[in-house]
Structure 1
């Protein structure tokens, strides 16, 4: 067995305890005061001097600032505004939930931090441990980058991983090139003129306008983009009025554009903007569209991905590591790192329904449960990959 994995397995009960404490107390968005304090306290316990570089963002260094290479490891810490519906004894009860596994990510990086501290004398460079807020809102990575997370010392390469519900436990998957879609979150506000429902001619109906915009937007995908290109426009919110017999003055639509090519994403947004403005004007209203947040497509540096994958195979075995080409339409804000430094992003299988009926629910589902057996694997992947990359890139 790989020595780092052996050490990680020896701390499994400690990792489970950490994970459950974080899972029990989920926090959402940019401000994660309790989670940040808990992680910083753990890092100090392990012998680090962590620093908060932006609101709820944490950086800690293993190794020495000796002018050699720096390898970054990143974990996200935020949860989702989802009410947990599992029967776990450590379930959240505050209306939020770690339904995307970020509690496991944080725990695995803390485990890696402990392993790296134990092997610090063997590090031939610096490992930068990064704990990030607000991945779900697609704002955390950009905030960390703006705050200088890639400097002091300058980062040469970066790695992150994400648990994957439905994939067999400890199976590792990684993409070559563009792997995960970019996403633009938008908000459309339609301004009309409110009136009584019995006399619609005295007002301007924003619901009617919004409905035409909703239907017309799908024509962008079906009639303006090649069938060979992947893109999705989804509306998840349509809000207007508060009673049955009054036409409201305003309607609000919110949704996402997902794409595997940045130029295509820009084109779709511009066409959606044209439709919003023109349709609203056609029906005597006013339409405004704005970007709430965005993240570019995630692209794995192919050389780095295959290089790090060779180290991961030392941890879990060659048959458990699978590469693929092409991309899915989910999104991940670690993508922003890949436009600054060579980066790689792995998916770590967290259990399938064939293993246990409790596993395999979709990510973000209120009943999703992840197999805690993967905690040592993730910790070892992080630590060993960083150690070996530094050794091979002096």
Structure 2
């Protein structure tokens, strides 16, 4: 067995404590005071001098005795604003939930921090540990990059890992090239003139306008984007009115555009703007399209992918590392790093229903349960990949 896997398994129970503590106290967005304090306290306990960056970001650095390049390891820390419905005895009760596994990611990187201290004499260069807020809101990575997370010392390559519910435990999935979609989160505000439902001619119905906009937006995908070009527009929020017999003043819609091509995403947004404005005008109202946040498509550096997945094979075996070329339509704000430095984003299988009926629920499900046994694998992947890349890229 690989030495790093042996060492990681010895701290498995420690990582379970980290993960369960974080899981029981989830925090959402860019401001994560309890999470930040917990992670920084642990890093200090391990012998690091963590620094705060942005609202709740954390950076810790470890250097070896020999000079070399700088490798960045990133974990996200934020949860989602949803009530947990699992049967775990450590489940969250504050109306938020780590349903995307960011508690697992943070625990793994804390475990890797321990492993790196144990193997500091093997580090030929510098390893930068980054704990990031607000991945879900797509603001965390951009803010941390703007605040200089890739400088002092300058980062040469970066790695992030995400648990993947439904994939067999300890199976590594690695996309080549553009492997995860970009995403634009948007809001459409439709304004009309309220009136009594019995006399619609005396007002301007924003629900009617919004309904026409909703239907028209799907025509962009079906009639203006090539069938072989992956893209999707989704409206997940449609809110208007409080009473059944009153036409309201305003309707709010919110949703996402996803595509594997930045130019296609921009084209869709611009065409949406045309449709939103023109449709509202056609029915005597007004409407506005607002971009809330965005993340570009994620691009894995293929050279980095082939090299680092070879190191991962030393940990999990060749048969458990799967490289693929097709892209998925989920989004991830680690993408922003991939436009600045050679980057690699991999997924680590966190359990299937065949292994355990509790595993395998979709990500972001109120009932998703991850296999904690993979924490050791994740910690070993981080530490071993960083050390080996620095050794072989002097």
Tell me the TM-score normalized by structure 2.
0.99
Q: Is 2:287 the partner of 1:287?
A: yes
Residue 301 of structure 1 aligns with which residue? 301
Residue 349 of structure 1 aligns with which residue? 349
Displacement after TM superposition at 1:65 (Å): 9.4
- Gapped regions of structure 2 (runs ≥ 5): none
Displacement after TM superposition at 1:5 (Å): 0.8
**Alpha-carbon distance between aligned partners in 2 of 1:5 and 1:389, rounded to the nearest angstrom:** 17
Q: Is the 8 A contact 2:187 2:252 kept in 1?
A: yes
For 1:157-196, what aligned pairs fall within 5 Å after superposition? 157-196=157-196
Q: Secondary structure at the match of 1:319?
A: helix
Query: What does the per-residue CA deviation read over 1:218-255, in whole Å, with 9 as the maximum and x for residues that have no partner?
Result: 00000001101100000000010100111001111000
**Alpha-carbon distance between aligned partners in 2 of 1:246 and 1:307, rounded to the nearest angstrom:** 63
For 1:305-384, what aligned pairs fall within 5 Å after superposition? 305-384=305-384
Displacement after TM superposition at 1:326 (Å): 1.2
**Alpha-carbon distance between aligned partners in 2 of 1:219 and 1:181, rounded to the nearest angstrom:** 20
Deviates more, 1:234-243 or 1:57-66: 57-66
**Which structure 1 residue ranges, 4+ long, deviate > 2 Å from structure 2?**
64-68
Q: Is the 8 A contact 1:311 1:385 kept in 2?
A: yes
Query: What does the per-residue CA deviation read over 1:277-334, in whole Å, with 9 as the maximum and x for residues that have no partner?
Result: 0000111111100100100001100000111001111111111100000101000000
Q: Is the 8 A contact 1:65 1:153 kept in 2?
A: no
For 1:152-301, what aligned pairs fall within 5 Å after superposition? 152-301=152-301
**Alpha-carbon distance between aligned partners in 2 of 1:247 and 1:65, rounded to the nearest angstrom:** 71
**Alpha-carbon distance between aligned partners in 1 of 2:67 and 2:213, rounded to the nearest angstrom:** 55
Q: Is 2:80 the partner of 1:76?
A: no
Q: Is the 8 A contact 2:192 2:250 kept in 1?
A: yes
**Alpha-carbon distance between aligned partners in 2 of 1:67 and 1:215, rounded to the nearest angstrom:** 59
Q: Is the 8 A contact 1:78 1:136 kept in 2?
A: yes
Q: Is the 8 A contact 1:63 1:121 kept in 2?
A: no
Residue 17 of structure 1 aligns with which residue? 17
Residue 118 of structure 1 aligns with which residue? 118
**Alpha-carbon distance between aligned partners in 1 of 2:350 and 2:230, rounded to the nearest angstrom:** 27
Q: Is the 8 A contact 2:79 2:100 kept in 1?
A: yes
Residue 2 of structure 1 aligns with which residue? 2
Displacement after TM superposition at 1:64 (Å): 5.0
Q: Is the 8 A contact 1:19 1:104 kept in 2?
A: yes
Q: Secondary structure at the match of 2:271?
A: helix
Classify 1:333/1:262 alpha carbon distance in 2 versus 1 (closer, same or farther; 3 Å). Answer: same
**Alpha-carbon distance between aligned partners in 1 of 2:295 and 2:195, rounded to the nearest angstrom:** 40
Tell me the TM-score normalized by structure 1.
0.99
Residue 42 of structure 1 aligns with which residue? 42
Residue 128 of structure 1 aligns with which residue? 128
Q: Secondary structure at the match of 2:16?
A: helix
Q: Is the 8 A contact 1:65 1:126 kept in 2?
A: no
Query: What does the per-residue CA deviation read over 1:145-187, in whole Å, with 9 as the maximum and x for residues that have no partner?
Result: 1110000000000000000000000000000001110000000
Query: What does the per-residue CA deviation read over 1:21-70, in whole Å, with 9 as the maximum and x for residues that have no partner?
Result: 11010000000000000000000000000000111000000115976200
**Alpha-carbon distance between aligned partners in 2 of 1:254 and 1:20, rounded to the nearest angstrom:** 33
Residue 57 of structure 2 aligns with which residue? 57
Classify 1:271/1:27 alpha carbon distance in 2 versus 1 (closer, same or farther; 3 Å). Answer: same
Aligned length: 394
**Alpha-carbon distance between aligned partners in 1 of 2:322 and 2:162, rounded to the nearest angstrom:** 15
Q: Secondary structure at the match of 1:356?
A: coil
**Alpha-carbon distance between aligned partners in 1 of 2:34 and 2:366, rounded to the nearest angstrom:** 22
RMSD (Å), alpha carbons: 0.9
Classify 1:66/1:287 alpha carbon distance in 2 versus 1 (closer, same or farther; 3 Å). Answer: farther
- Gapped regions of structure 1 (runs ≥ 5): none
